[in-house]
Amino acid sequence: MTSLATDRIIVGLGTTGLSCARYLRAMGIEFQVVDSRQSPPGLSAFQQEFADVPLTLGEFPQALLNGARELIVSPGVSIATPAIRKAREAGVVITGDIDMFSRRVKAPVVAVTGSNGKSTVVSLLAAMARAAGLNVGLGGNLDGAEAAPALDLLRQPPKDLYILELSSFQLETTQSLNAEAAVILNVSDDHMDRYEDKHAYEAAKQRIFLGARHIVVNRDDGASQPWHEAARVVSSFGLNAPQAGEWGLVKSTDGYQLSHAGNLVLSASEMRLAGRHNLANALAALALGEAIGLPVPAMLEALREFPGLPHRCQWLRNLRGVDYYNDSKGTNVGASIVAIESLGEMLKGKLVLIAGGIDKEADFSIMKPVVRQFVKLAILIGRDARHLAAAFKDSIEITFAANLTEAVKIAAMQAREGDAVLLSPACASYDMFSDFTHRGRVFAEAVEGLQ
């Protein structure tokens, strides 16, 4: 239904739209909601909680949008959408949940964006802050049981520190984040269906630095640097030897050592996180923690114990000298290449790879170099297993399994001390599982069941 014009309109339901509605209701502010979809995510929950709030589904009503004072645009809706652009041209203020959050938050905020690694870095940093005795609010674009949309965090009891994972979509509508510490971890081509070009994508990411008191950068990625010359960089991280005030890696006879300003602080072998990409994530968290004053001993204590996030190169167990890793979220070729290479570089032995599912017409041949270098056996499952086999046939030994549980049993028999078993399918999961999390759970249960 369409109602009379109102000052504030939430554009787009879903998780963020619902959090905006709950926040405005708690603040006693009237609003209504529009969504271009007839059945958007969160519709049932919204109708139960906000039966009295006007809701318009279908095409955006231009006259209604133009008559508002403020549009609260959900991340899933581009501000380049013609209806949003025309409303802005008519003088309507465009904002989003992170901008609303930044106006009300009282405690320091750490803001993290990037193409890869965001979830691991914010979750690890939260563990470090909690080890230091802080009461932490964790959320933003992050999923998971302990995370919440940013505005939902403000409806909880006050925190000492807020740590937010932010997408470029959220940053598009952010005007004054004023984070205590902010970082762009890295930038690679992504969301090119939303942005005109990579420069526009990077420009959205750069908004994380607006008003930031401390800026951390990735020495290995030029796109991590702030564009504004006046921005103050206080620390950096990278996978090379660090200089004064920097975090980095030093190669020794015992493997890689995490180092700060020339001082070795932790051996990579002491971490449960695996892979060079996770060494970068660990160094990013340490640099951010230092920027906000977390004590190094507490950060290292948390880093030793942090197992990684579910389904993202997550260490599960060591059995007879073989480590088992769940990278079920590796649903495409690029993600699996990173997982194979990152783990393979750290191993004394070789990888036993479990892969397969729905191939999404991917080119698996580009995996051959890392597979040939780091994998001794590929155990293939799922609908398109033979497509992977055709790509790998001249590189490594291949076998097939009827299901994931059988694949784990074969892997356990073939792996030797110093090897690792990695589930990184490079494929979608829907031929055998409801989604990648279901696939990861089945893998974890099978690994736990090994004797």
Residue 82 belongs to a domain with what CATH number? 3.40.50.720
Q: Of these residues, 66, 86, 178, 191, which one is catalytic?
A: 191
Looking at residue 4, its pLDDT comes to 54
Query: Both 300 and 362 in a single domain?
Result: no
**Over 336-348, what HEC string results?**
HHHHHHHHHCCCC
Dump the DSSP string for 167-222.
-HHHHHT-S----SEEEE----S--TTTSSSHHHHHHHHHGGGTT-SEEEEETT-G
Which parts of 292-435 fold into alpha helices (H)?
296-305, 333-344, 368-374, 385-392, 404-414
On whether both 120 and 141 belong to a single domain, the answer is yes
pLDDT at 189: 57
Residue 1 counted as domain residue: no
Q: Is position 357 within any domain?
A: yes
**215, 267: one domain:** yes
| Claim to verify: residue 116 and residue 88 sit in the same structural domain | no
Q: Which of 116, 141, 186, 326 is catalytic?
A: 141
Residues sharing a CB contact under 8 Å with residue 134, sequence separation 6 or more, in sequence order: 159, 160, 161
Domain end, chosen from 283, 305, 327, is at 305
Same domain, 81 and 158: no
Judgement on whether residues 116 and 242 belong to the same structural domain of the protein: yes
What pLDDT is stored for residue 197 in this prediction? 86
Per the structure, the complete domain to which residue 216 belongs is given by 100-305
Distances in Å between the Cα of 66 and the Cα atoms of 11, 69, 77, 82 are: 13, 8, 17, 12
Please measure the distance between the N-terminal and C-terminal CA atoms of the chain and give it in whole angstroms: 60
Q: Are 296 and 318 in a shared domain?
A: no
Radius of gyration of the chain measured on its C-alpha atoms: 23
In a domain, 354, yes or no: yes
Q: Is there a domain that residue 327 lies in?
A: yes
198 is catalytic: no
Q: How many CB atoms lie within 10 A of CB 92?
A: 18
**End residue of a domain, out of 63, 95, 127:** 95
Angle (CA) 263-268-272 rounded to 5° is 135
Query: Helix, strand or coil for residue 334?
Result: helix
Q: What is the pTM of this model?
A: 0.84
Residue 2 lies in a domain: no
> Residue 1: what pLDDT?
44
> What is the Cα–Cα distance from 276 to 268, expressed in whole angstroms?
9
Same domain, yes or no, for 161 and 239?
yes
For residue 414, being part of any structural domain is answered with yes
Whether 379 and 444 map to the same domain: the answer is yes
pLDDT the model gives residue 253: 81
Owner of token pair 């996030």 = 309
- Across the chain, which has 451 residues, the per-10-residue mean pLDDT values are 72 96 96 96 96 96 96 95 97 97 97 90 98 98 86 97 96 94 85 78 94 96 88 90 94 89 91 88 98 98 92 91 94 89 89 95 92 97 97 94 98 97 95 95 97 87
The CATH number that applies at residue 423 is 3.90.190.20
Local structure of 437: helix, strand or coil:
helix
Tell whether 142 and 277 lie within a shared domain: yes
214 half-sphere exposure, CB direction, 13 A CA radius: 18
Q: Is residue 228 part of a domain?
A: yes
**Has 141 been annotated as catalytic?**
yes
3-state secondary structure of 319: strand
Whether 191 is catalytic: yes
423 with 294, same domain: the answer is no
Number of structural domains found in the chain: 3
Q: Which of 46, 63, 95 lies at the terminal end of a domain, its last residue? A: 95
- Do 121 and 241 reside in the same domain of the chain? yes
- Is 224 within the bounds of a domain? yes
